[in-house]
Structure 1
Amino acid sequence: MPVAWIMFLAYLSYGIPSVLLYFLTLFIVIRHRKTFDSSFFQLYCFDGLMNLFTYTVGYLKTRLSSITCYHCVLALFYRNIGNCPSLLNFVMCMNYHMAYVQYAITSLISLNRLSVLLKFNTCEPLWRKYTWLLVLAIFLFPFCNTRCVFMYTAEIVYLNESDSYNLVSKQLPASDIFSVLIPFMIVIILISVAANVASLIIVGNINNSQTRNKAEVNFIVIMSITCLVQLIGTVLSVATLKLSGTPAALVLAKIVPFVSDGLTLVQPWLLIGFSHAVREKARLMFASRWSPKKHSVSVVARSATF
């Protein structure tokens, strides 16, 4: 079996359940918005939409094209979109653009947790009122750097040696984008770590030991997973840039998509893992009509994620 197909099947093995879980959790949060009426879940929904969009762009640019041979059914699709340079430039731009968005929203969520812990009555209403504006700003601001992609022509090329298609922009100076993107990633990681550590310290000072221990574990795990994935992504991005044109860069190019997917798809698993309320809603959705009914779980917006 070709390596491209093995990697594609690997993508599907975690991609399909993760995407389905994403839609399930988003459906639960939106359907029960009166229960999950907090700024955290607003951010989760916005983050989910951005991540699903990022995942779709990645599949269009890299995953599907890598297994599409010249005589495959999808070959016609790639040859046709090759006649739409504006669409190709947009997809190429989003390939870099959404890295900014993902890292920034992750940091925003960390700052949300910290501020709500510090001043719940003051910060929570402000977050719920202006979250959409912050997310909009996060999505638009990276165009200051990534708009340069539209100055170069992206195209779909057929690779005879691998019998596949690829989206490339031969004249695009990727180093100009990475020269801003890499420092941005490093700063965002530092902000996320600082916010999560501060939140952990605050939670550790809570008098109720049962609440403290449960929240502490949640913060440690969430902080560790999120920051670790971000850190790995940054290290690999730096290494890919420094080793460009070498065999090592080709190896890293195979690894980066998995790390990117980790940052994109880990959120619904974390939510299901750490939110009893979400798990309960999911269980009730799939429970048999003959299952004995249990009392509903009351949720406090401030601690719904735990």
Structure 2
Amino acid sequence: MSSASITVTLSIIYGFPSVFLYILTIIIIQKNKKKFDSSFFNLYVFDGFMNMFTYLNVLFTSRLSSVTCDTCLLAPVYRNVGRFISLNFVLAMLYHMAYVQYSITVLVSLNRLSVLLKSHVFEPIWKKYTWLFIILIYFLPFLNTKIVFYYETEITYFDDIDQYSLISRELPVTQIFSILIPFMILAMSLTIFFNIASVIFLRGLNIQRKQTESKFLLITIITCGFQLVGTIISVPLSLLEVSPVLMKLSLILPFTSDGLSLVQPWLLLCFSAAVSAIFEETYLEILKRNQKVVNYKNVLLV
């Protein structure tokens, strides 16, 4: 099995359950708004939609296409998808969502720090304007990624490597990376700074609030860890010439990218007792319903 096939297989194995868990946790939060009345959960919901979109877009454009031959099941999809959606948009999102994900990670870290400092002042502001911050985060990167729309984009089959690829032959990628890479470094630096400051201020809180905030902060820090690894790998891959070491690092990058996109629901389930409890209740209820259906069918068969 090729490395591309292994990457795709693993990505699907952990990706689909993660997307399902993301959807389920978002539903839990939305159905229990009074219980999860925190700006952190508001950000989690917005971040969740962005992360799921990023994962599915990368899965379709980069992962599945890399294992699709000209006679494979998905070949007709890649040959005709350009008739139904803008390939320029799809390609732009590969760069664009890097801006979005890094920005939201900074935003979440800033949220935790500001709430730790003065929750009564900043928490209402976050609750009121989170939607506006997210809109700005999504649309501002078009100042850079709009360049993708100026060039023709197509999905092409390459005989020599037996796969489909989304390409824009004349796109000056360096113009995107010349801004994206410094932005990633800046965003990563701010995220680390905010998280370190949060850890320092966390020590001064009372025990009850410290326990609650430490769990939120831990989720943020672990997410930051995936982002840091992704930055460390992405920067040299973008700026340096290809070498055996960089080739090996490039094999790790897809998983760090997926980690940044998909780790949050698992962390929330682990560190939020309230979400975990409702999840267990929901899961048990589904199991009971399924068991009743099975028992009913068995009775009919008898």
Give the TM-score taking structure 2 as reference length. Answer: 0.88
Correspondence for 2:29 = 29
Matches within 5 A, 1:58-137: 58-83=58-83, 87-137=86-136
Cα root mean square deviation, aligned: 2.2
Do the aligned partners of 1:204 and 1:216 also contact (CA within 8 Å) in 2? no
More displaced, 199-208 or 140-149?
Answer: 199-208
Quick one: distance in 1 between partners of 2:40 and 2:225? 21
SS at match of 1:119: helix
Q: Aligned AA for 1:237?
A: S
With over 3 angstroms needed to count, the CA separation of the structure-2 counterparts of 1:103 and 1:125, relative to structure 1, is: same
Correspondence for 2:224 = 227
**1:267 equivalent in alignment to 2:243:** no
The alpha carbon displacement at 1:229 in A equals 1.4
Quick one: distance in 2 between partners of 1:99 and 1:281? 32
The alpha carbon displacement at 1:224 in A equals 3.9
Do the aligned partners of 2:153 and 2:167 also contact (CA within 8 Å) in 1? yes
The alpha carbon displacement at 1:58 in A equals 0.4
More displaced, 244-253 or 96-105?
Answer: 244-253
With over 3 angstroms needed to count, the CA separation of the structure-2 counterparts of 1:78 and 1:250, relative to structure 1, is: farther
More displaced, 43-52 or 117-126?
Answer: 117-126
Do the aligned partners of 1:114 and 1:198 also contact (CA within 8 Å) in 2? yes
Q: Deviations over 1:151-182 (max 9, x none)?
A: 11111111212321111112112111111111
The alpha carbon displacement at 1:290 in A equals 11
**Which structure has greater helix proportion?**
2
Q: Aligned AA for 1:66?
A: S
Q: Deviations over 1:228-262 (max 9, x none)?
A: 21121112111111234556555444332211111
With over 3 angstroms needed to count, the CA separation of the structure-2 counterparts of 1:119 and 1:72, relative to structure 1, is: same
Equivalenced residue count is 288
More displaced, 12-21 or 132-141?
Answer: 12-21
**1:239 equivalent in alignment to 2:256:** no
Correspondence for 1:8 = 8
Q: Deviations over 1:267-290 (max 9, x none)?
A: 111111111000011011122599
Q: Deviations over 1:126-149 (max 9, x none)?
A: 111111001000001001111111
The alpha carbon displacement at 1:221 in A equals 3.7
Q: Deviations over 1:41-99 (max 9, x none)?
A: 11100000001111111011111111211111211111112456x71110110000000
Quick one: distance in 1 between partners of 2:21 and 2:276? 11
Give the TM-score taking structure 1 as reference length. Answer: 0.87
Correspondence for 1:300 = none
Quick one: distance in 2 between partners of 1:5 and 1:289? 34
More displaced, 131-140 or 121-130?
Answer: 121-130
With over 3 angstroms needed to count, the CA separation of the structure-2 counterparts of 1:30 and 1:217, relative to structure 1, is: closer
Correspondence for 1:294 = none
Matches within 5 A, 1:154-169: 154-169=153-168
Gaps of 5+ in 1: 292-306
Do the aligned partners of 2:219 and 2:264 also contact (CA within 8 Å) in 1? no
Quick one: distance in 2 between partners of 1:231 and 1:110? 14
Correspondence for 1:182 = 181
SS at match of 1:157: strand
**1:256 equivalent in alignment to 2:223:** no
More displaced, 167-176 or 103-112?
Answer: 167-176
SS at match of 1:162: coil
Q: Aligned AA for 1:168?
A: I
Q: Aligned AA for 2:270?
A: G
Do the aligned partners of 1:66 and 1:166 also contact (CA within 8 Å) in 2? yes
Quick one: distance in 2 between partners of 1:75 and 1:150? 25
The alpha carbon displacement at 1:125 in A equals 1.2
The alpha carbon displacement at 1:110 in A equals 0.9
Correspondence for 2:43 = 43
Do the aligned partners of 1:39 and 1:128 also contact (CA within 8 Å) in 2? yes
With over 3 angstroms needed to count, the CA separation of the structure-2 counterparts of 1:89 and 1:288, relative to structure 1, is: closer
SS at match of 1:73: coil
Q: Deviations over 1:3-46 (max 9, x none)?
A: 33222111112112211111111111111112112211111000
With over 3 angstroms needed to count, the CA separation of the structure-2 counterparts of 1:3 and 1:192, relative to structure 1, is: closer
